[in-house]
Amino acid sequence: MDKTLLVLIGPTGVGKTELSLQLAERFGTCIVSADSRQLYADLRIGTAAPTPDQLARVEHHLVGTLQLTDYYSAARYEEEVMQLLQGHLFRQHDIVLLTGGSMMYVDAVCKGIDDIPTVDEETRRLLLQRYEEEGLEPLCAELRLLDPEYYRIVDQKNPKRVIHALEICYMTGRTYTSFRTRQTKIRPFRIVKVGLTRPREELYDRINRRVVQMVEDGLVDEARGLLPYRHLNALNTVGYKEMFRYLDGEWTLEFAIEKIQQNSRIYSRKQMTWFKRDEEIHWFHPDRHAEIEEFLNQELLCKTSQL
């Protein structure tokens, strides 16, 4: 029987969590998270990580498995998910559910990621030290010299992207661009992609209300406990960055909440722009359960029953 990876994706706040639980229960399977921040055990409230009840309801993988100081990448994520799927998940289940909103992580599993060399610890420490001492602007200027092609397309405000490209340049003597072949890998399983979307005003209202709920659930105290680690890349994240500025006394709590809401809405637009490029995604409103069920009956149950 064919093995199928059911991929449930969509922007932040759209309603992936509850539907993923229902689908996992429906197909008697587990959930593999594709959220790059829910991997960190200490980022619970600000990432809307699954609750203990939800974790007890359905078996989850790659949730809360990392410490804040752990180095991680989309390439490592691809490797770990493939090991999980081929190691035992597809031996236990015909269908496995992958869900989350981290675009590069989803693509890493579905399409594969370029075989870029693993950065050694010495190079990583060197670039991190330079970033802490000099800031991002000098690193961007250096990337412009070493790899002008990648410099033109990289998000120059994202230190992780800039630093990683320089790490590869330093370590290999080649441009980061030279490793980016963008060839889709062939996977030994079927992939069915379901995307969730809502009208913009509806989505924005959900995002705004979710941020308020996070604060009520203890986001301020969670961020306060993370202050000693604020320089780490794991905390260069919407929700925590804004709370740190409140805790510094720079912003009021009300303004910090507004900024989290605003930046979450901006991120949701970036997610949708990315996902809309993928013609393999079948889009549904999360509340249209009957339509989703009919589609999955055709794509999953009927096809597997014919084998």
Taking only the tens place, the pLDDT of each residue in 23-44 is 999 999 999 999 999 999 999 9
Taking only the tens place, the pLDDT of each residue in 83-102 is 999 999 999 999 999 999 99
Mean predicted lDDT score pLDDT of the chain: 92
In the chain, pLDDT over 70 holds for what percent of residues?
97
CATH number 1.10.20.140 is the correct assignment for the domain at 121-179: yes
Q: What is the DSSP string of 163-192?
A: HHHHHHHHHHSS-SGGG---PPPPPSSEEE
pTM over 0.85: no
- In the prediction, which pLDDT does 151 show? 92
Question: Which residue, among 46, 87, 39, has the nearest Cα to 67 in the 3D structure?
Answer: 39
Q: Is the dihedral of CA 45, 49, 54, 60 positive or negative?
A: negative
Taking only the tens place, the pLDDT of each residue in 154-180 is 888 888 889 989 999 998 888 988 887
Q: How confident is the model at residue 304 (pLDDT cuts 50, 70, 90)?
A: very low
- In the prediction, which pLDDT does 2 show? 83
**Residues 202, 207: Cα–Cα separation, whole Å:** 9
Would you say residue 210 has pLDDT above 70? yes
Class of domain 4-114+189-305: alpha beta
- In the prediction, which pLDDT does 217 show? 97
Mean pLDDT throughout 59-63?
98
Q: How confident is the model at residue 302 (pLDDT cuts 50, 70, 90)?
A: low
The owner of tokens 């912003």 is 251
Tell me if residue 76 falls in helix, strand or coil: helix
Q: How confident is the model at residue 56 (pLDDT cuts 50, 70, 90)?
A: very high
Q: How confident is the model at residue 306 (pLDDT cuts 50, 70, 90)?
A: very low
Q: How confident is the model at residue 22 (pLDDT cuts 50, 70, 90)?
A: very high
Taking only the tens place, the pLDDT of each residue in 244-283 is 999 999 999 999 999 999 999 999 999 999 999 999 999 9
**Residues 12, 203: Cα–Cα separation, whole Å:** 9
- In the prediction, which pLDDT does 1 show? 58
Would you say residue 305 has pLDDT above 80? no
Taking only the tens place, the pLDDT of each residue in 275-285 is 999 999 999 99
User: How do the domains of the chain map onto residue ranges?
Assistant: 4-114+189-305, 121-179
Would you say residue 114 has pLDDT above 50? yes
Mean pLDDT throughout 36-63?
97
- The amino acid at 129: Q
Across 14-18, 105-109, 183-187, 214-218, least confident range: 183-187
Taking only the tens place, the pLDDT of each residue in 189-202 is 999 999 999 999 99
State phi, psi for 196 to the nearest 5 degrees.
-110, 135
